[in-house]
Amino acid sequence: MIEFKLPELGENIEQGDLVRLMVAPGASVSTGQSVMELETDKAVVEVPSSVSGTVQEIRVKEGDKIKVGQVIFTVDGAEAKGSSKAPASAAAPAQVQEKPAQQKPTEGASAPAPTAAPSPATAPQTATPPAVSSASGAGEFKLPELGENISQGDLVRLMVFPGAKVSEGQPVMELETDKAVVEVPSSIAGVVKEVKVKEGEKIKVGQVIFTLEGGPATPAETTSVRNAPVEHVSGQHGARLAFQAAIRAEGKTEEQALPPDQPQRPGAPEFSMPAQLGKVAGTEHRQPIPASPHVRRLAREVGVDIYEVKGSGPGGRISEDDVKAYAKGLLSAAASAVQTPRAGHFAQPQLPDFGKWGKIERVSMRGVRRKTAEHLAESWNTIPHVTQHDRADITELEQLRARFAPKAEEAGGKMTVTAIALKVCAAALKVFPQFNASIDIEKEEIVYKQYISIGVAADTDRGLLVPVIRDVEKKNIVELAVELSQLSKKARDKKLTPADMEGGTFTITNLGGIGGVGFTPIVNFPEVAILGLSRSRMEPEWINGKFEPRLILPLSLSYDHRLIDGADAARFLRWVAEAFEQPFLLSVQG
Amino acid sequence: MSENTNIAVIGGGPGGYAAAFLAADLGMTVTLIDPELNPGGVCLYRGCIPSKALLHVAKLLEESHQAKDWGIEYAAPKIDLARLRSWKEGVVNKLTGGLGILSKQRKVSYVRGRAAFENSATLRVSKSDGSEESLSFDRIVIATGSRPAIIPTLKLDTPRMMDSTGALNLEDIPGSLLVVGGGYIGLELGSVYAALGTRVTVVEMLSGLLPGADRDLVLPLHKRLEKMFDRILLNTTVTSVKDEGNGIRARFEGADVKEPEKMFDRVLVSVGRKPNSEIPGLHKTRVQVGQRGFIQVNKQLQTDDPAIYAIGDVVGEPMLAHKASHEGRVAVEAIAGHKVAFEPNAIPAVVFTDPEVAWCGLTETQAQKENREIKVAKFPWAASGRAVTLDRPDGMTKLLIDPQTERVLGVGIVGAGAGELIAEGVLAVEMAALARDVAMTIHPHPTLSETVMESAEVFYGTSTHIYRPKRG
């Protein structure tokens, strides 16, 4: 009989009110399945089960206050997830006494998949996988290459935990690199055995992220996993799963409490080498630091890594004062960092207690949303924005577009207004190079770029992403249409790499698909201009003494007024509008 | 964790009771579970304490022989074994009884029995009175210690085959004793029996006694033991033992073996200790047991199960009481929410033979293994006035010093009372003292502690009692 206990839910959350119970005695639960909704001080969270089996007894009821560690329900038979050791050691204690050295191999060989059922019927089934599992047992997922010059990133969010099933292509973590927050998809499928990283860590390319349990849970489930379309984990459902996983994963790391002192735990699939045997348990191999025990403890208490402190005493001995001075230095550095208006980190007035007026839910703003917030705030704070509006008559262009659409489709793209806008803007940027520039305030220089790479804002499940199309001026509209389609798909499939999103010199954002008559986009720093497109509509135009129905595309150009004067912006936008109106101009001037 | 944390400690040895007492002092509700009548564990009942009582007697016997050289001659001692045993037991009862009182004064609930895990927070305790009880706790500290290791081929069901526990029972003074294993337990107990008149043979598989200790520290001990023991066989294994009714026939194998088999009245197997990590129900928790049976913990002594901590012999070497006590305190402080870690710079090791061998911090063996540049400053006890007055010039004190910073990284001492002297070395290493600090600290004269100061002076070439000609 296995108990499911309320796992750690996050920092400082020790209990919660049980809002909704989603299991009943007799129900079967599987690892990762949501079993209850818990209201904590911070949010209502769905709590996923960490065990599989048939629910025997429920020990709580709705409305109860539940503490971390409290038993929620018991399940029959099947093993708790992640504890593949349980059956092995249950079977082995007698052997363990005599031959501890054999314990690991025993474990490795017989470690059943988490859902390996106890019923004799499934026994033969589970008997076969180990052969497979020992082959794939050493399955490790390592951080893949993320892009040029990106060798590492900060782990923002971990979406897997021991016992979780992962499939190929499923996002398993969010990594913040210098350039972007990226979701990293798994390249392997199976059941996670051990997660070797934790949130907040810096992770290097090639570093092992997690290891897989011996092979697939059951043959049947493997196929179902394989067949599952990737779309299955996208959208709301995916976000929710990821959210639960994140909570679970956070709880896990909190629980482990191994950080910040996590000793090198022997890797799950490997055996620890006898070389380690003589080591004092729990100590890592660092040379003893020249500081008295009391000073070392003080450092620990104030959160200073004593190995970072420079000792002022003889032989580099670190005194109490050294630690205090170092801590003070850290504090003032942190304080001054807070004072400088850093993007997204403005001191904002304290929030009222929204809960007073109704129920609220708090959700982590990590990941793309935070990155977006920081980046846009930085742009907004750095750049004096002005927005110029204009309208382009695209009646003729629309006919052309319709005519050439099949051609683009043949090539695998879609002839959209955005694709055409790419070509138009590339031509305009050649004529007006200051729109394809950046300002280097420190050196008091303007950086003119000799290439034209245009970012296209994409609205995705995860938020705003801006993939960049390179060397736009060298490509024709069909090529641009194809590339744009590919990038959009990549964005939707969460396959964009930071390299796909860097190096832009100008940005286009098209909200026309949704509607609107105009807006003021924010310049994508360090670029200096951005073109917004709204919905084109039929409008009466006064032409040759009468109104004619014309298809009008509203254009909004935001620009950095430090570099670009209003008249230049008006000229640039007029040029763009005319290019839309007379596509012929492109071939002449563009 | 808040003040009213409910904590259980499994095992009442020096690690367990130190943890329990500190937890009580910090305001926690504490249950201490152990099968013995009072706290104490192996250390007090079957280890450090009874062996030291016997070694004290052994020392007296040895000195009574040596007294002849000083003009005092005693008649051959009459040994009343029953009286000796009851004195030893009196020592044990006095100390364990004291712990029982300390436990009560602290309102620690002492449960006599054995614990099994039902889950990470619940223990099923089979009490000594036959009853059973399930108890739930916020945190559990495993302090189950270790037991003598057994070599399957050297297993005989006869009281003539002893482990350390049996040897401490001192049932008789055998005519001959075979000690299998030249580690500290075998040498200490072998010394006791040798002093009582037993002919002792020590067999060690490796090339030297006290494997792991620096050879220069072992040498004076080896010399003295050669006189005291019948034989010391190195590079030798005992391949079999056979109970022949009137004794045990042991077969030896090794390069230096001249007599391939020999009869012994008793055999003491002291080949190390094994962690007691086979706790019933442990698999129902997330605690991980690593190779060699040690429970895996982090620097806070927390196991892979966040509600469970483990300390002492069951988490790893060195299996020493003082390491366990320190770990116990760290674990409890961690449970109380303090930011602490088990991170000593020096754990002293003492072998209570005569002469005693003690060391702490870095050893020369370790420095060589790590290819670490160090300077070693040695002071031979022949130059110590106090050592000469004791007629024990067979000692040596050495400091291991970092040549760049002149910091004392390790201390090694062999000689009478080295176990007491090493404490200063531990303090020097922990405080990151420089050799100069030690040299400039006034030490009382005439004491053996001066050897610590003078070895620091040796480092600077200015030791008062050693003349070293100037180089070049």
Flag whether residue A224 sits within 8 Å of chain B, measured between CB atoms: no
Asked if the Cβ–Cβ distance from A256 to B407 is below 8 Å, we say: no
At A148 the pLDDT is 64
Distance CA A56, CA A497 (A): 46
pLDDT top residue among B78 and A499? B78
At A434 the pLDDT is 93
pLDDT in tens, A526-551: 999 999 999 999 999 998 899 999 99
pLDDT band at A265 (very low <50, low <70, confident <90, very high): very low
Which whole number is the average pLDDT over A85-97? 37
Written as tens digits, the pLDDT of chain B (472 aa) is: 445 689 999 999 999 999 999 999 999 999 999 999 999 999 999 999 999 999 999 999 999 999 999 999 999 999 999 999 999 999 999 999 999 999 999 999 999 999 999 999 999 999 999 999 999 999 999 999 999 998 888 989 999 999 999 999 999 999 999 999 999 999 999 999 999 999 999 999 999 999 989 999 999 999 999 999 999 999 999 999 999 999 999 999 998 788 899 999 999 999 999 999 999 999 999 999 998 899 999 999 999 999 999 999 999 999 999 999 999 999 999 999 998 999 999 999 999 999 999 999 999 999 999 999 999 999 999 999 999 999 999 999 999 999 999 999 999 999 999 999 999 999 999 999 999 999 999 999 999 999 999 999 999 998 999 887 766 5
Flag whether residue B222 sits within 8 Å of chain A, measured between CB atoms: no
The fraction of chain A above a pLDDT of 90, given in percent, is 23
Whose tokens are 């990106």? That residue is A150
Closest Cβ–Cβ partner in B278, B294, B406 for A96: B278
CA distance A287 to chain B (A): 9
Residue pair A51/A77 in contact (Cβ under 8 Å)? The answer is no
Flag whether residue B296 sits within 8 Å of chain A, measured between CB atoms: yes
Which of B140, B282, B298, B406 is the best residue to mutate to test the A interface, defined by the most A CB atoms within 10 Å of its own CB? B298
- Residues of A in Cβ contact (< 8 Å) with B434: 314-315, 317
The fraction of chain B above a pLDDT of 70, given in percent, is 99
Closest Cβ–Cβ partner in B316, B340, B345 for A288: B345
Flag whether residue B317 sits within 8 Å of chain A, measured between CB atoms: yes
At A87 the pLDDT is 38
Flag whether residue B302 sits within 8 Å of chain A, measured between CB atoms: yes
At A35 the pLDDT is 85
At A147 the pLDDT is 67
Chain A, 307 to 366: residues with Cβ < 8 Å from chain B are: 313-318
- Residues of B in Cβ contact (< 8 Å) with A103: 289, 291, 293
pLDDT in tens, A444-491: 889 999 999 999 998 887 788 899 999 998 988 888 999 999 988 888
Asked if the Cβ–Cβ distance from B298 to A103 is below 8 Å, we say: no
pLDDT band at A336 (very low <50, low <70, confident <90, very high): low
Q: Are strands B273-275 and B199-203 parallel, antiparallel or unpaired?
A: unpaired
Chain A, 61 to 80: residues with Cβ < 8 Å from chain B are: 69, 71
pLDDT in tens, B79-104: 999 999 999 999 999 999 999 999 99
- Residues of A in Cβ contact (< 8 Å) with B284: 86
At A587 the pLDDT is 60
- By CB atoms closer than 10 A (0-12, 13-18, 19+), residue B416 is buried
Is the pLDDT reported for residue A342 higher than 50? no
* A-to-B residue pairs, Cβ atoms closer than 8 angstroms: 133
At A221 the pLDDT is 36
> Looking at chain A, which residue has its C-alpha nearest residue B372?
A287
Flag whether residue A12 sits within 8 Å of chain B, measured between CB atoms: no
- Residues of A in Cβ contact (< 8 Å) with B406: 314-315
CA distance B351 to chain A (A): 19
Asked if the Cβ–Cβ distance from B283 to A86 is below 8 Å, we say: yes
pLDDT top residue among A590 and A137? A590
- The residues of A assigned a catalytic role are 561
Asked if the Cβ–Cβ distance from A266 to B306 is below 8 Å, we say: no
CA distance B236 to chain A (A): 23
CA distance A521 to chain B (A): 49
Flag whether residue B406 sits within 8 Å of chain A, measured between CB atoms: yes
Closest Cβ–Cβ partner in A266, A289, A301 for B290: A266
- Residues of A in Cβ contact (< 8 Å) with B456: none
Least confident of A156-160, A182-186, A340-344: A340-344
Which of A4, A106, A258 is the best residue to mutate to test the B interface, defined by the most B CB atoms within 10 Å of its own CB? A258
At A10 the pLDDT is 67
Least confident of A37-51, A118-132, A424-438, B133-147: A118-132
Which of B451, B465, B462, B466 is closest to B387 using CA atoms? Answer: B451
- By CB atoms closer than 10 A (0-12, 13-18, 19+), residue A219 is middle
Chain B, 134 to 193: residues with Cβ < 8 Å from chain A are: 138, 152
